[in-house]
Amino acid sequence: MEIERISRNAVRFSGVCFDPQLVLIDSAQVFHWRAEGPAFEGVSGGRTARLTPEGDGFLLEKCADGEETYWTRYFDLTRDYEALRRDAALCPAALEALEKLPGMRILRQPAWEALVAFIVSANNNVGRIRRIVRALIDELGENGAFPTPGILAAAGEEKLRRLGCGYRAPFLIGSARMVAEGFSLESLAEISYEEAHAELLRLPGVGDKVADCVQLFGLGQSEAFPVDVWVERAMRQWVAPEARNKKEIRRAAHALFGDSAGLIQQSLFHCARMGLISLDAPQKNA
């Protein structure tokens, strides 16, 4: 990959396989980016960016001097995604999913942004998640950024319900209050997956799946393996037919895919959800 600053506020990234429509809009790992014609616009960590696909990479505008490092990490541009095929080799469905989505990347979002988005995501569909996250940003954030923990905690349940959060409103307020009062999300990236998972479960509205999403998309813990209905079906067919619950499915994924479990999961999830792969494993001969 090459990074070239071409103006005061524009940087060209080349020599990287990155599909912005897939990653930023379609893959349900982030919900606040917008497609604007050929470009994609978003704010993360208080930084604004406008990304336009270009040849074997993309042009990133509104990128101030020194922000290249932030966006390189955010878009996970330095990871060798081709190597994931070795880790997925024993699961044909996962290997096929990776091959169908060469431009997939796992975003490294600020943990607070991931926490808000995935509390909202519980028992929800992608379109509605987008609308709620957008409403929170527009109503309570500044300059397109997520509201701070303090502002969200003080918003009040009635206001959050009016913005579409429904029964999630008290969970958002409770988690925001804990973060505002010193619960350190970012520090969880420095401890083990199991320890971070247990800590996240202390937050209101955070169960196993939301915790795994925060760990994968917000803390960079690539072994985190969120299990939704699509991933559960694929794993039961191909890997863990006798798993009694989702925890056993996660353990099977960790055993099979190792530290790459979450990275592989995202392609498996998207392909299963969109019908791009078959979820039916071939029957063994009697």
Q: Is position 47 within any domain?
A: yes
Residue ranges making up the domain that contains 60 = 2-78
CB 254 within 8 A of CB 243: no
CA distances for 32 relative to 46, 177, 222, angstroms: 13, 22, 22
Instruction: Give residue 285's pLDDT.
Output: 45
Say how many domains are in the chain.
Answer: 3
User: At 14, is the secondary structure helix, strand, or coil?
Assistant: strand
Q: Is position 54 within any domain?
A: yes
179, 195, 216 — which closes off a domain? 216
Q: Is position 286 within any domain?
A: no
Q: Is position 105 within any domain?
A: no
Asked if residue 286 has pLDDT above 90, the reply is: no
Q: Is position 171 within any domain?
A: yes
192, 216, 240 — which closes off a domain? 216
Instruction: Give residue 284's pLDDT.
Output: 53
| 118 and 200, same domain (yes or no) | yes
| 33 and 129, same domain (yes or no) | no
Q: What is the pLDDT of residues 1-36, one digit of tens each?
A: 999 999 999 999 999 999 999 999 999 999 999 999
- Specify the amino acid at residue 44: S
Q: Is position 28 within any domain?
A: yes
In which band, very low, low, confident or very high, does the pLDDT at 260 lie, cut at 50, 70 and 90?
very high
Q: Which residues pair with 51 in a beta bridge?
A: 40, 60
Instruction: Give residue 280's pLDDT.
Output: 79
In CATH, what number is assigned to the domain containing residue 53?
3.30.310.260
Distance of CA 165 to the CA centre of its chain: 20
User: 92: which 2 tokens?
Assistant: 């044909």
Q: What is the pLDDT of residues 101-150, one digit of tens each?
A: 999 999 999 999 999 999 999 999 999 999 999 999 999 999 999 999 99
**In this structure, what are the phi and psi dihedrals at residue 207, rounded to the nearest 5 degrees?**
-105, -165
| Closest alpha carbon to 225 in 187, 111, 91, 235 | 235
Q: Is position 18 within any domain?
A: yes
| 34 and 163, same domain (yes or no) | no
Residue 80 gets the label, from left (phi > 0), alpha (psi -120 to 50) or beta, of beta
| 132 and 211, same domain (yes or no) | yes
Q: Which residues pair with 39 in a beta bridge?
A: 36
| 95 and 225, same domain (yes or no) | yes
